[in-house]
Structure 1
Amino acid sequence: MRTKVFHHVSNPQLFKQKLLLWSQAYHEIVWLDSNEYEGKYDNYDAVLAVDAFTSIKTDFFNAFEDLEEYRSSTSDWIFGYLTYDLKNSIEELISKNYDGLGFSDLYFFQPKKLFLLKGDKVEILYLNIVDDELETDLMEIEKTELIESKHSDEPIKIKLRIHKDEYFDKVNQMLGHIQHGDIYEANFCQEFYSENCTIHPLDTFRKLNNISKPPFATFLKIEDKYLMSATPERYIKKEGSKVISQPIKGTARRSVNFNEDQKLARELSDDEKERSENIMIVDLVRNDLSHTAKRGSVKVEELCKVYSFLQVHQMISTISSEVTEGISPIEILKTTFPMGSMTGAPKISAMKIIEAIEETKRGLYSGSVGYFKPNGDFDFNVIIRSILYNSTKQYVSYSVGSAITAKSDPLKEYEECLVKAKAMREVLEN
């Protein structure tokens, strides 16, 4: 049974900073921050879940069935992640590429302590509360002193898993598959990494978030593994009987010059290649949603709309559906995962080709972090623009990708990857 308390804060931004710093004492943390982005489908400004009361950690085998059993047995809020490699649970697929991070394929936990922030109000939900625990925690949060960012003593040297010439060769392999009719589009990703290095996860997240201010920023800590994400993309959300998915396909850089910046946004909106990428994924998402939707309820609410973020302009579409009665929330995830924006079309063929051509196991990159409410509603993001860290192995990684279509130019695809990688590289190299 959860104890619910509403708490008023005079300075929401300061409270958010103190709350996140206070949370670092726990082994399990999920922090989700909208950065005051006002989206049509957003409920909270920020959410913090800490301290596992129960949890589930598993590999891909039977993962969605195990998650269904766990969600049903808790009938509570649960937070966690789905890695890209859960694809192997859904289709006859494998993941044999190099993995320097070692995240389990799926992890969710039932938090003892949960904070839901909206405006100047905080809804606090504690599980099995002890005496004056909540009041004590609030006092500790208020007393928390913000500290200056820590810098790594040694510079972090970023390495490329795939070098430029090899990248061109691999894109040309993708184009060969497209020309042979195996696929129409595939998201091809490459890893940047550093070994034997130590970073301060919270400070790294703060810097990355300040550069990008995305609507789905995420800080995740599960024991010795960390995610610091500045993702702008929602994977899927369920509220009542309505489900929405908001794939991103199409990226352009920003400019400090207003007129040039507007020109870049217009060019993205009019770019035939970028629009075709986006529309192909919209069709894929429509098909995925149709598996659990009432007949005729799948709709495209926005098509190829350009949104501007601090680092980039992005082309986003919104697809919605009404869920057939009796469909479980897990079934909605299973029939849409992995998200179309990170795979390609046709989806299964694209995933097979991706596995053969990429050098790194994706793991949590291009997976998802999110939560389920007790009533089965949920909200999940897409893990892109993210830094991943295994503190025990001292291994840091970030990956970026782009959609390869028949009209792709390998050099332009490479340059798009560098634009997407810019914020992560700046943060890690100070």
Structure 2
Amino acid sequence: MITFDFGPGERPAQFCDPQELIVAWQAADLPAALARADALRGEGAWIAGWLTYEAGLAFEPRLWSLIPDTGQPLAVLGAYAGPSEPVPLTTGKVRLSALTPAITQDDYRAAFARAQAYIAAGDCYQINLTFPLDARLIQGTPADLASALARLQPVGFGAFADMGVGPVVISRSPELFFRTQADGRIEARPMKGTAPRHPDPRRDAELAAGLAASEKNRAENLMIVDLLRNDISMLARVGSVRVPQLFAVESFATVHQMTSSITAQLTDPASISSLMPALFPCGSITGAPKIRAMQIIRELEPQPRGIYCGSLGWMAPDGASAFSVAIRTLSVSGTDIRLNVGGGIVADSTADSEWEEALWKARFMMPLTIPG
């Protein structure tokens, strides 16, 4: 079962009882898995599921050697008769242990220094550096946790997935990866640039205004806009790529985020097997240029990201679709919970401020945790 806040018509939707479950365990399995999904769409099925961040390595054969052996699938996609109205998740009481970084701040500083050295050497303009936080589910079920987080963190691109393969996924993502329409129009809305919320409305407004005016955050956001424009242009009609919104600030429960929008008209009908190899993973959670950034990320991050920074989404038989960027996303295995956080590193970033900004992004979990 998989539930989206962003189903068809931008309404909540749920997909249950798959006609077929498509699982890619290895890099070599992924193209066939996506092709099978499109073949089933051609027969009238809806496709819904998720891809891990490491699936992005599988789309580039020269990166196959970097794919970690995690024992988890790279992608899980279900073929369904269609969406239905979501059944409300349970509302049992939830308690978590305190979130604990899986690396020390000194470890982070060391990885940060190496990232900046690569930037100074000209390997990259920006590298997205992340790290995991771990907790345990002390009371309640994953469905209870998903319901509680939905109340705490209203977002546009939340999802809950218990597909029967891999971990249970709880996503409170505010970020659209891409959406397509049946007529071939595509839109992406990358987020890059973050500021914390403040309980004092005046101070909160100042923080939002400061983010909007920040040259550093604008520069980071523009790098990713350019990267996504380039990715989308490979699939788009010449001259159709547009940036109708640049550097808008959107406010959520615990953070302000800078968001831009890119639109285009696809040359060919939308398909999972054409869109994902061209666009995945999203540049906003990788860096630029993307392939080199992915290589550096695998070197600097000691543990795989899994579903974090991957994508959850759906595609209709007519090519309409919506896929999120899986940030603010938890992976639940038994009672073990993993939540990753991070941000984009550029030449003038500082390790301590980036560490602090990453931890801001976990604040939405705090009301459910027992202080440790």
Q: Same fold (TM over 0.5)?
A: yes
SS at match of 2:362: helix
SS at match of 1:61: helix
Q: CA deviation at 1:236?
A: 0.6
In the alignment, is the contact (CA less than 8 A) between 2:155 and 2:252 conserved in 1?
A: yes
- Worse-matched range after superposition: 55-64 or 213-222: 55-64
Q: How does 1:299-378 map to 2 (within 5 A)?
A: 299-325=242-268, 328-378=271-321
Q: How does 1:18-417 map to 2 (within 5 A)?
A: 29-33=1-5, 43-59=9-25, 60-73=27-40, 74-91=43-60, 92-93=62-63, 94-95=65-66, 99=70, 102-112=71-81, 114-116=83-85, 148-152=91-95, 156-194=97-135, 200-223=141-164, 225-239=167-181, 240-325=183-268, 328-391=271-334, 394-417=335-358
Give me the CA root mean square deviation.
2.3
- Worse-matched range after superposition: 395-404 or 323-332: 323-332
Q: CA deviation at 1:388?
A: 1.0
Higher Cα radius of gyration: 1
Q: CA deviation at 1:116?
A: 4.8
Structure 1 residue runs of 5 or longer lacking an equivalent are 1-28, 35-40, 118-140
Percentage identity across aligned positions? Answer: 30
How big is each residue's C-alpha offset from its partner over 1:347-393, in whole Å with a ceiling of 9 and x where there is no partner? 111000000000111111100011110112211001111111012xx
Take 1:66 and 1:147, find their aligned partners in 2: how far apart are those partners?
32
How big is each residue's C-alpha offset from its partner over 1:135-173, in whole Å with a ceiling of 9 and x where there is no partner? xxxxxx7xx9x8652345xx6243322111111111111
Take 2:106 and 2:268, find their aligned partners in 1: how far apart are those partners?
52
Take 1:150 and 1:111, find their aligned partners in 2: how far apart are those partners?
32
> 2:168 is aligned with what amino acid?
Y
Take 1:262 and 1:202, find their aligned partners in 2: how far apart are those partners?
34
Q: CA deviation at 1:53?
A: 1.7
Q: CA deviation at 1:333?
A: 2.1
Take 2:317 and 2:37, find their aligned partners in 1: how far apart are those partners?
12
Q: CA deviation at 1:396?
A: 1.4
- Worse-matched range after superposition: 63-72 or 399-408: 63-72
How big is each residue's C-alpha offset from its partner over 1:272-330, in whole Å with a ceiling of 9 and x where there is no partner? 11111100000000000011111111111111111111221110000011111356442
Aligned length: 364
Take 1:334 and 1:369, find their aligned partners in 2: how far apart are those partners?
15
Structure 2 residue runs of 5 or longer lacking an equivalent are none
Take 1:267 and 1:42, find their aligned partners in 2: how far apart are those partners?
35
In the alignment, is the contact (CA less than 8 A) between 1:97 and 1:359 conserved in 2?
A: no
TM-score, normalized by length of structure 1? 0.79
In the alignment, is the contact (CA less than 8 A) between 1:193 and 1:396 conserved in 2?
A: yes
TM-score, normalized by length of structure 2? 0.91
